Amino acid sequence: MQDPGDVVASRRWRVAGWVAFIGVAVAAVVSARFLAGLSAAVLVLTLAGVAGLLFGVRAFRWAPLVFGLLGGVVAAPSAVQALLLVGRDPAYAPRAGLGWAALALALVASLAAVAMRGHPRLLALVTILAALGGGVAINLFYINTFYVVALPLWLVGAAVAAFSPGSSRGQHLV
């Protein structure tokens, strides 16, 4: 016989799975509209499909790690590319520190996602603050990047970690 607590936890994971699926699908539409890049839309739609398949309790527990790392894979090269393209341009020189800040915050958000299993709510907050701060910094430095594609990835991963069963009771996600 199944424990009633497991049924409630399973429902919470199912809700978190649908929230992640819908959030990433909306991000795909927004990125296709504003970035006009088919590759970014395909990337985010693929992640939406993965999030939709990961409705199992055990499988979806890795979502914060996966989304956090994928956000870092998108954001860090975008910040480096912006620094390489316009970092030495005299018009952008006064704002070069913002490009470096965006790169550092991308690394902080990704590393917080890696360590999220230990203290999920605290590190979810760190991920959200670093992601939003990096998004603002890169847009103040150089707007022509794919850094903003990483924001929904980090935010979905942080939301899943913060609202997952066990995060409020101090249990590990995995």
With respect to residue 170, please indicate whether it lies within any of the assigned structural domains. no
With respect to residue 167, please indicate whether it lies within any of the assigned structural domains. no
Burial 14-42 (b: 16+ CB within 10 A, else e): eebbeebbebbbebbeebbeebeeeebbe
Between 124 and 170, the higher pLDDT residue:
124
N- to C-terminal Cα distance for the chain? 23
CA 52 to chain centre: 16
Percent of the chain whose predicted confidence (pLDDT) is above 70: 59
Residue 10 structure tokens = 């399973």
With respect to residue 72, please indicate whether it lies within any of the assigned structural domains. yes
User: pLDDT tens across 42-70, in order?
Assistant: 565 556 545 554 554 455 567 788 788 88
Between 117 and 155, the higher pLDDT residue:
155
User: pLDDT tens across 101-145, in order?
Assistant: 999 999 999 998 888 777 888 988 999 999 999 999 999 999 888
Torsions phi, psi of 69, nearest 5?
Answer: -70, -40
Residue 27 structure tokens = 């991000």
Who's near 66: CB < 8 A, 6+ residues apart?
50, 157
Say how far apart CA 53 and CA 62 lie, in whole Å: 12
What's the mean pLDDT in 29-43? 56
CB atoms within 10 A of CB 1: 3
With respect to residue 8, please indicate whether it lies within any of the assigned structural domains. yes
Residue 146 structure tokens = 């794919």
Between 146 and 55, the higher pLDDT residue:
146
Q: Based on the structure, what is the number of domains in the chain?
A: 1
Say how far apart CA 166 and CA 92 lie, in whole Å: 46
With respect to residue 38, please indicate whether it lies within any of the assigned structural domains. yes
Say how far apart CA 115 and CA 172 lie, in whole Å: 11
With respect to residue 68, please indicate whether it lies within any of the assigned structural domains. yes
With CA atoms as reference, report the closest residue to 63 among 151, 161, 145, 129: 161
Range of the domain at 55: 4-162
With respect to residue 21, please indicate whether it lies within any of the assigned structural domains. yes
With respect to residue 10, please indicate whether it lies within any of the assigned structural domains. yes
Say how far apart CA 163 and CA 53 lie, in whole Å: 19
